[in-house]
Chains A and B, each alone.
Chain A
Amino acid sequence: MNLKARLAIFAAIVVLAAIGGAIYVLRAEREQTHAAGLPPQVPVTVGDWASVATKPHIVFRNTATGTGYGQVALVPLDASDGPRTLTPASCDRVYATAQQAVCLFAKRAMVTTYHAQVLGPNWTPIRDLPLSGIPSRTRLSKDGSLVATTTFVHGHSYASPGEFSTETLVSKSDGSHTDNVESFTLNVDGTQITAEDRNIWGVTFADHDTFYATAASGKKTWLVRGSLSARALTALRPDAECPSLSPDGTRVAIKTRGNLPPGQWRIAVHDLRTGKSTLLAEARSVDDQIEWLDNTTVIYGLPRSGDGPAATDVWRAPADGTGTPTLLIRDAWSPAVIR
């Protein structure tokens, strides 16, 4: 083939590829603008969140396409399939108590930055919490005085990619003090684990001092009980991630791997008094920090297949391993129950 022919083919490829790419991107842009302007795809009311909040309710991230996508919404506990009330706050992950909420979000720009904010009763930011890396999990203590955030800090290098590390911070929500849980001592069956690759994530608070979390080193994970005053973590059982303490404080819901391939988890409930674990009836893989609807039922987010990557629902399942999971809130993510 002579140079002229090759140049012609090359020009054709460049032009076709550029036009094809441009059409795709412009259509994505148009669709997004269009979708954002559409009326919400689920029943929504706006503004009157205060009256919903007077009764027990669920706070979550609204993932229904249309206006209000990504905004925090509320539904009454006794009418979770009814209309949702949108708040003005937009969060990637949210957790709330009756007094305040914590909101993790990424600000997309040339350099994406990540933020954690404490939101007050009007869903307006009260203060920023320290945060580095991509936000992943957050929890408040029952009285709202402590906030835990997990982000992950990602290293990328020529010679050894694949290092990843979490940063889990416990802060006073008035901003007065922050502790990095990653530096606490970690005891597994009486042995101290000092490996550089250990990571801690997914905190759930029991009281002002005690919390539960996931510790990992190498390919192993453990459910650990932590003490803020002793700056120590003690392993309770292996193969457990993202614990969530039941309202009565007797059990934790966890994700567990068992023999599943990487990236898949079953949910189980671990009884802190007996040390026994029960797998729940949910057969699909759950990758979320579980929340308790009440002492007998857990709720969790699941991606909805077939509707694009961003479609998610919140499901519920009995905490004793019986029954079958049922859909609780459509187009929702990151639920928090406020009783």
Chain B
Amino acid sequence: MYLSLRDRPTAVGPKAAVPATVFLLGTVSLLTDISSEMVNAVLPLYLTAQIGLGLLAYGFIDGLYQGVSAFVRIAGGYAGDRLGRPKYIAAIGYAVSALCRIALLPAQTFAAISAVITADRLGKGVRTAPRDALIAASVPPSTLGRAFGVHRAMDTIGAALGPLAAFALLWWIPDSYDSIFVVSFVFGLIGVAVLILFVPNTRTSVAKERPRILRAAFTSSLRRPLIAFALLALLTVSDGFIYLSLQQRDAFAAAWFPLLFVGTNVAYLLLAVPLGRLADRVGRGRVLVGGHVALIGAYLLAGGPLTGLPSTVATVLLLGLFYAGTDGVLAALVSRIAAAEARGSAIAAAQTIVVIGRFAASLSFGALWTAVGRGPALLWMAAALTIALPLAAWLLREKEARTA
């Protein structure tokens, strides 16, 4: 099933070194995440304090993310497969996002800023699946989990550094948002340069007819995992709600709110590689299920009777564990099952299902919160996930066993 023509690693097994391609793509993501998170971190402040947009206008721009990204994600994965050269598509996606940073300089109106942000999200949507397909093509199936773990850890480091860089700049030169956009562009540009110059232009397959790719992307062996992902995503409450619940429960100041994100990210980046390795050893499906057990734990802690700092810290750590056990592991699991020629499309399909499922979960959880209250709503979700998890485990386990 592993069909990469170039970049074939010689050593196989958990002892083999992580190939340079993974570190290079990790570096690209690290630089790009510094670039994008620099802008994301100051965007609310920039729009409201500097451009003078109102609350609803900001909400509108922020909400652009949702639909746009999900739609082009599949297109990006499919285009990479069709060409047989995911690198080209990924490069276009990264380049568009980098250019968007510099486009923020002249964009001073609501319409112009919306257009730039939309283009940035399009770039992000397009590049994700081809990039994951490249990672998958660079390692043997037995170390997929670790490879994605390394990539996601580097990616998360960038996401943590970006806001720090942005606020340090704002501190030094108050209100100079233009400087932030320029520095962000520099990081984005270097990221694109690393991708274009150093990441091998792996041919994942010879260009294929459309029906073959689609058939390969939705083979029966993938159908069950996709159903499992949808089932789990529908019961995954966005971490924003969990943080909000913690904040309401313990009534701590919103100033501490960002620390919850930081805590989750730190746990995520520390655990991404160990859990990736674990996934390679015991099976990706099992780790994915384990990640959701951590999520149930987070629901119970955030919604249960225990209050105070220890419970909050434990909730945040469990959320980090959940991300480490699911995000990269999901890509590894799909890459393992999908035929190489349709890997991008398959990864894109899985990620899109998760995004849409979680969006639906957010909507329904919002309604549940209103109906039964904060704590009971989380406990209900914990119960539902506890019931659904064995079913998902069954859907996932069979797959892993058959292809192992």
Contacts and interface: CB of A to CB of B under 8 A. Distances in A.
Interface of A: 6, 9-10, 13-14, 17-18, 20-21, 24-25, 28-29, 32, 92, 106, 108-114, 132-134, 136, 150, 152-164, 166-167, 194-197, 199, 201, 216, 221, 241-242, 255, 261-265, 287-288, 301, 303, 305, 309-310, 312
B175 interface: yes
Going nearest first, the 3 A-B pairs with the smallest beta carbon separation are A132-B254, A263-B110, A162-B63
17 contacts: A17-B190, A18-B186, A25-B169, A28-B178, A108-B171, A108-B175, A109-B171, A134-B44, A134-B48, A136-B54, A159-B361, A164-B62, A263-B53, A263-B111, A287-B54, A288-B52, A310-B175
Interface in B338-378: 354-355, 358-359, 361-362, 366-367, 369-370
A160 B49 contact: no
Interface stretch (B203-211, B236-244, B281-289, B393-401): B236-244
A111 B261 CA distance: 14
B164 A14 contact: no
B299 interface: no
Given A17-B190, A159-B358, A160-B238, A312 B52 contact: yes
A21 B257 CA distance: 32
Given A164-B58, A262-B57, A108 B52 contact: no
A13 B188 CA distance: 12
B258 interface: yes
Nearest to B45: A134
A34 B179 CA distance: 16
Interface in B180-205: 182-183, 185-186, 189-190, 193-194, 197-198
B132 to A, nearest CB: 16
B63 A242 contact: no
A156 B261 contact: yes
Given A24-B182, A196-B366, A136 B48 contact: yes
B261 to A, nearest CB: 7
Contacts of A287: 52-54, 57
A221 B178 CA distance: 33
Contacts of A133: 254
A9 B196 CA distance: 11
Contacts of B60: 262-263
A140 B309 CA distance: 36
B362 A160 contact: yes
A64 to B, nearest CB: 15
B355 A110 contact: no
A238 to B, nearest CB: 14
A224 B58 CA distance: 22
